[in-house]
Chains A and B, each alone.
Chain A
Amino acid sequence: MSALHLHEVSKTFALKERQVVALQDISIAVKEQEFVSIVGPSGCGKSTLLLLTAGLESPTAGRIVVDGRPVIAPITDVGIVFQRDVLFDWRTIVGNVMLQADIRRLPRGPALRKTHALLEKVGLAGFEQAYPWQLSGGMRQRVAICRALLHDASLLLMDEPFGALDALTRDQMALDLLRIWSDDRRTALFITHDIAEAVFLSDRVLVMSPRPGRIVADIRIDLPRPRELDIRDEPDFIEYQRKIRKLFESLRVIG
């Protein structure tokens, strides 16, 4: 299991002649087996933060350390879920999950068994040989999640994975994700703009300001696990939600 540290990370983009500060002095510490969400308005650089963590882009300043090792190239002991499902049209559902095993050259037999088990767990049994275009948006994103879990990476990075889904599907997906995550509790960093989703899933919620993105609050979510959807009616849950919403109001993101 891996811990994750960002030390005063900044990222500046050059947009034509202009310099755009996407992230400013971000410091984050995520402990092993911790589920941390970053919630922020759109355009605050939270997706960039995830790419930096994965080593897929490099910071302008600051240091990123995963598992005690500085991130200077793409890290591979990681499972990533993007907002778009990024399924390959030329692979079946099983094939798409198995991409993880094919690229990493994992032994086929065990990987295939795990693929079927994962698909079953997210309710996709019977769709193994279907192609991505035959599935709904929610089903496709479930496949993407299975693909990110197949190789037992110690770090899970998710960039608004439910952002394109309808409210009902989002609830179900959040529930499914929690169940799967609870099985082996990998360190998880979850990017979202949905306050309720962040509170429901996380041990901690980090609140980001609009651009230039900074961390303005670090809120520990002391709700018991396992959590079911009706936890959202509890006073504590509502209080957490209210607190974060107030923060956004004070940042003039809403209100």
Chain B
Amino acid sequence: MSRDRIAPALSFAIVLALWEWAARAGWVADYIVPAPSTIVVHIYSTFGLLLRHSYITALEVGLGFLLAVVGGIGIAMAMVYVKTVESVVYPWVVVSQVIPKVAIGPLLLMWLGFGLVPKVVIAFLVAFFPILVGAMIGFRSVEREPLFLLRSMGSSRWQTFWHLQVPTALPNIFAGMKVAITLAVVGAIVGEFIGANVGLGYLLLYANGIIDTKLLFAALVMISVLAMIAYWLVALAERLFIPWHVSVRQDTARPTL
């Protein structure tokens, strides 16, 4: 293992060990903060249940995020390439962002029912904005010379879009997507808090209600794992799609302060 992997692993192990020791020494009551080993055992014994709820939350996050990608990029393109669309749509986009999603959650539930849809919508609403902003900056970052170059080749609008504008925009879009995916998880959990009978957010509230701290922590661990996997998938896609970009490639010297 290389040095830059040992250090974080070690710090993680130390924190866990201290936590375990504090819990076993009776410094904190078991029903307030259970020991890590207890949580692990509990996750193992209730894994089927956790997985069932995780699946629903993952579905909400995934659908909300996909909608956010399609919607964010689509709206950004319309705004960048059609001037009137920007002046008409952008204020609405900003309004949609300044309204706290938690506050309109109950309303969404009333409109859209108790099931999957309102959670997907909330995840979408919180996740699409960073993607939209990233895509707008990206599509606007095309410089003059490459455009001139393509024009002198007789490039069609579509060719210019595909060969220049999309690759130029991708790094910013991925930056937005990385922020968006973590927000989408929060959105789905908040949606489940407001009203659900399934999902990790629901499980968390349920465990809280019956003061089952072990289950509560188990749900918490599952949410963290879910968010981490989701983020990792986006980061993986980034490495696959833009291996050429300065932020991704391995060869470049990193700036220091």
Residue ranges of A at the interface with B (Cβ–Cβ < 8 Å): 51, 54, 56, 74-76, 78-80, 82, 84, 86, 88-90, 99-100, 102-104, 131, 133-134
Whether A78 contacts B244 in the complex (CB less than 8 A), given A86-B145, A103-B163, A134-B251, comes out as no
23 contacts between A and B (CB under 8 A): A51-B148, A54-B152, A74-B152, A76-B154, A78-B152, A79-B152, A80-B148, A82-B145, A82-B149, A84-B145, A86-B145, A88-B167, A89-B244, A89-B245, A89-B246, A90-B167, A99-B163, A103-B155, A103-B159, A104-B153, A133-B244, A133-B249, A134-B251
> Taking CB as reference atom, which chain B residue is nearest A157?
B152
Contact with A along B125-162 (1 / 0, CB 8 A): 00000000000000000000110111111110001000
Kindly state the separation between the CA atoms of A80 and B146 in the bound complex, as whole angstroms: 11
What chain A residues lie within 8 Å of B150 (beta carbons)?
A: 103
- Closest Cβ–Cβ distance, residue A117 to chain B (whole Å): 20
What chain B residues lie within 8 Å of A56 (beta carbons)?
A: 148, 151-152
Contact B153 A103 (CB under 8 A): yes
> Taking CB as reference atom, which chain B residue is nearest A75?
B152
Kindly state the separation between the CA atoms of A86 and B146 in the bound complex, as whole angstroms: 6
What chain B residues lie within 8 Å of A80 (beta carbons)?
A: 148-149, 152
Contact A104 B154 (CB under 8 A): yes
> Taking CB as reference atom, which chain A residue is nearest B153?
A103
Residue ranges of B at the interface with A (Cβ–Cβ < 8 Å): 145-146, 148-155, 159, 163-164, 167, 242, 244-246, 249, 251-252
> Taking CB as reference atom, which chain A residue is nearest B241?
A90
> Taking CB as reference atom, which chain B residue is nearest A153?
B152
| A86-B149, A89-B246, A90-B242 known, 10 other contacts, Cβ within 8 Å | A56-B148, A74-B151, A80-B149, A80-B152, A88-B163, A88-B167, A90-B167, A90-B244, A103-B155, A103-B159
Closest 10 CB pairs of A and B: A76-B154, A103-B153, A74-B151, A90-B167, A90-B244, A86-B145, A89-B244, A103-B155, A56-B148, A80-B152
What chain B residues lie within 8 Å of A75 (beta carbons)?
A: 152
Contact B152 A76 (CB under 8 A): yes
Contact B246 A88 (CB under 8 A): no
Kindly state the separation between the CA atoms of A76 and B159 in the bound complex, as whole angstroms: 15
Contact B163 A102 (CB under 8 A): yes
- Closest Cβ–Cβ distance, residue A91 to chain B (whole Å): 8
Kindly state the separation between the CA atoms of A133 and B253 in the bound complex, as whole angstroms: 12
Contact A103 B244 (CB under 8 A): no
What chain A residues lie within 8 Å of B249 (beta carbons)?
A: 133
From A76, A89, A133, give the contact of B153 (CB < 8 A). Answer: A76
> Taking CB as reference atom, which chain B residue is nearest A81?
B149
Kindly state the separation between the CA atoms of A126 and B155 in the bound complex, as whole angstroms: 30
> Taking CB as reference atom, which chain B residue is nearest A131?
B244
What chain A residues lie within 8 Å of B251 (beta carbons)?
A: 133-134
